[in-house]
Structure 1
């Protein structure tokens, strides 16, 4: 039996014979007032406060190096000095060889 059930069974609930208990009327002036203490009731109220939490995220950077062709065009030059012989066209060595064979065959 809990506390509230004990009070109801002590003549304080419906069907009791205490004058004015249910009607809200006045009690007998000859009865002294008594003080009664209810056992304490614990109430919990949740109160939230911000709390700074440092979260460290580790990041590992991997640099991948790749070779890709970048064309650098280089040119080499060579120079040759030759003497020009007037306006007469130079005869190729093949033509000269033909002429010399013709001359030999005539003889």
Structure 2
């Protein structure tokens, strides 16, 4: 290609290209985390020990074979 004085220069244009310049800015966004508390109640057996006492008189020796009335009368005379 030579610089010929008879050749006029001309311009050819391609279709425009779009170039994006992205700018990012912080945006406040609240994220709400919901927590549900469930109070569960359970019955738990707690043992309380109770003692009952019964008293029984048993006569031995000299009182053996006698009825209770006779034994009680002899005890009172002494």
Query: In which range does the TM-score fall when normalised by the shorter chain?
Result: 0.3 to 0.5
TM-score (norm 2): 0.43
Tell me: higher relative CO, structure 1 or 2? Use CA pairs within 8 A at least 6 residues apart.
Answer: 2
TM-score (norm 1): 0.35
Larger Rg: 1
